[in-house]
Structure 1
Amino acid sequence: MVSDDALFGPEAADYARYRPGLPDAAVRLLAATQHGVPDPVLLDLGTGTGQVPRALLPVLHRLVHIDLVDVNESMLEAARAALEPVNSVCTVDVFTGAAHTFTPAAPGRAPTLITCSRSFHWMSRPQVLSMAGRVAAPHAVVAIMGDGSLWTHQADWTAALRELIQSYLGEDRRAGTRGTYAGPGRSYEDDLADSAFSEVTEHAFPVARTWKSEDVLGYLRTTSFARPALFAGRHSAFEPAALRLLQEHARGGVLKEDAVFTMLLARRHGSDA
């Protein structure tokens, strides 16, 4: 097993506290994909602190097993701890490593739902889908989800915040433990079209969020483009400057974000929709 705690290990607690959850309608749609499945098994790739399974469990009570996959051991520990109360009715395994290298810990647990929320762009996508084709149940559903970030969101306050970050870190968006973010070379739809899961439907969920200035700072600490380690000792100067900027843009003490949470649901050709 390979763990990469350099990227988000120190920020696991902030990640759990400040990252926005999944829209309720998206969670209900995920649960609906398992209608008629007698013993659903969830494989959550890039699980982070376990947002997807934590959201699903209250509406998909029949889940019998969850596999959590992440390169970050600290994140997996947080996810496992959050799911500890369900262990009596739903078993949980963790796999530390790149998503495309996942192998089930025990036979007979073929996933019927494979989820990947806000993390597919970090992965070796064709290899991940090839792995999914090998391990998934015949009628499994693959769900690739996301809603961008405050870096990509278009608003006056996010534009000003982006400029402040760039004044410290340079024009290009930072990503990973080093380097910059170039974006995926092709669409996720094209990735799926070339995989075993070529029957795809797209679903969009508008989301209106309000942020407190202090919560935006917490969120930034969890991102690949503004996490503290990137600032090389200047983070203690950045955060007060960012807080002043955010407070100047806040209206009634809050900052508004209008996002769209997009979900691609993919199945094997000819499987039941």
Structure 2
Amino acid sequence: MVASGKQKFDGLGADYDRYRPRYPDALFDVLAARLSPIEEPHVVDAGAGTGVALEGLIPRLPAGARIDAVDISGDMVARGREKFPTVTWHVGPAEPFLESITGIDLVVAAQAYQWMDRPRYLSAAADCLTPRGLVAIMQNNRDFTANPFLDAYESLLEELSPGYSRSYRSFDIAAELGERFEAVTDHRVTWEWKVRREDFAAMTQTSTQVQRALAADADEFHRRLSALLDAHQSDGDVVLTYTSELFIASDPRDMKEPAQPTGRSFIS
């Protein structure tokens, strides 16, 4: 499956893989526990990027697990193939890929759900599952309410990135899953990450919103970001606060075992 034309992350694969934050181990432990009754699961990483989520997921999968990964960016997929050559990689959008397959035990989207045609994606993901199959959505959210630096950074993006709002992911994922699945659980971890200021600056270049700001006025963005880092760094470091979320959905109407009840867990 091949997507034509330049995609938003083309040319950014190496830096994306190097600088983007990873996901907390505790969330992968939850997901692996839910998947554990299946001896040789078939997993699809939808919107896989360079395989950042696979770094945490693959070590927790049993021998014999089969993994497909699909991403619209050929640059991202090329990097992913280097990291995980035993994974079957596909270039193209996730929705038609899921519509073309069956027998899947886990469909996971990490940091990608907001880019999907979400109703089509959830319908396709649900239809390709086995009776005990799961759909998982995972994301790292900058916690600007608890971090003055991130609050100021969001304000900078809102000013300089055309059309950007910090609430661009403020939709109810659990409710959207609940429209298609009867059992939805929500697990969260809040954590801090200390990074060098130059690494944070490099990480910003892998953001779609920052790419829009650079296209509008690259000199102004770099000047303002440098001033922001000057104001908030300590010994060359800045501290980032994230709230990471994992949503797991299953449909008890199609399950051979009782569904896990809907609920939330907050993991410190």
The question of whether the paired residues in 1 share the 8 Å contact of 2:161 and 2:216 is answered with no
Equivalent of 1:255 in 238, 253, 256: 238
2:160 and 2:216 in contact (8 A); partners too:
no
Report the CA distance shift for 1:66/1:153 in structure 2 as closer, same or farther (over 3 A): farther
Partner of 2:173: 188
Partner of 1:178: none
3-state secondary structure, aligned to 2:35: coil
Distance 1:230 1:256, change over 3 A: closer
CA displacement 1:5-33 (0-9 Å, x = unmatched): 33111111111011101101111112212
CA deviations 1:146-166 (Å, max 9, x no partner) are 12247x565222233334444
Alignment size in residue pairs: 255
2:107 to 111, 114, 118: 114
| Structure 1 contact 213–246 (Cα < 8 Å) conserved | yes
Match of 2:133 in 1: 140
1:203 paired residue number: 187
CA–CA distance in structure 2, aligned partners of residues 25 and 80 of structure 1: 26
The answer to whether residue 93 in structure 2 is matched with residue 98 in structure 1 is yes
1:159 is matched with 151
User: Which residue of structure 2 aligns with residue 52 of structure 1?
Assistant: 53
8 A contact 1:57–1:63 mirrored in 2: no
Q: Distance in 1 between matches of 2:207 and 2:170?
A: 21
- Write the distance in 1 (CA, Å) between the matches of 2:23 and 2:244: 8
Query: Of 180, 194, 207, which aligns to 1:223?
Result: 207
3-state SS in 2 of match to 1:232:
helix
Q: Counterpart of 1:155 in structure 2: which amino acid?
A: N
Question: How far apart are residue 61 of structure 1 and its match?
Answer: 3.7
Q: Percent identity?
A: 25
Deviation string 1:209-241 (CA, Å, 9 cap, x unpaired) is 1121111111111111112x6423742553354
Aligned-pair distance for 1:63? 4.8
Q: Within 2, Cα distance between the matches of 1:251 and 1:188?
A: 36
Please name the residue that 2:27 is paired with.
26
SS at match of 1:38: coil
Q: What pairs with 1:14-93 in structure 2 (closer than 5 Å)?
A: 14-84=15-85, 87=86, 92-93=87-88
* Aligned equivalent of 2:124: 131
Q: Does 1:173 align with 2:164?
A: yes
* Alpha carbons 1:213, 1:243 under 8 Å: kept: no
Distance 1:62 1:200 in 2: 27
More strand by share: 2
Map of 1:237-252 to 2, 5 A cutoff? 238-252=221-235
The TM-score normalised by the length of structure 2 is 0.84
Alpha-carbon deviation of 1:167? 4.7
Encode CA deviations 1:123-181: one digit per residue, 9 max, x unaligned.
1111111111221111011111112247x5652222333344445445x417xxxxxx8
Q: Over the residues paired in the alignment, what is the CA RMSD in angstroms?
A: 2.6
C-alpha distance in structure 1 between counterparts of 2:171 and 2:213, whole Å? 28
Deviation at 1:96, TM superposition (A): 2.1
- Give the AA of the match of 1:189: A
The reply to whether residue 214 of structure 1 matches residue 198 of structure 2 is yes
Contact 1:3 1:72 in 2 (8 A): no
Measure, in 2, the Cα distance between the counterparts of 1:156 and 1:37: 44
Output the CA distance in 2 between the equivalents of 1:4 and 1:99. Answer: 16
User: Following the alignment from structure 1 to structure 2, what is the Cα–Cα distance between the partners of residues 67 and 104?
Assistant: 14
Structure 1: stretches of 5+ with no match in the other structure: 175-180
Name whichever of 185-194 and 213-222 sits farther off: 185-194
- Which residue identity lines up with residue 151 of structure 2 in the other structure? A
Q: 2:164 is matched by which residue type in structure 1?
A: R
Alignment partners' CA distance in 2, 1:52 and 1:185: 22
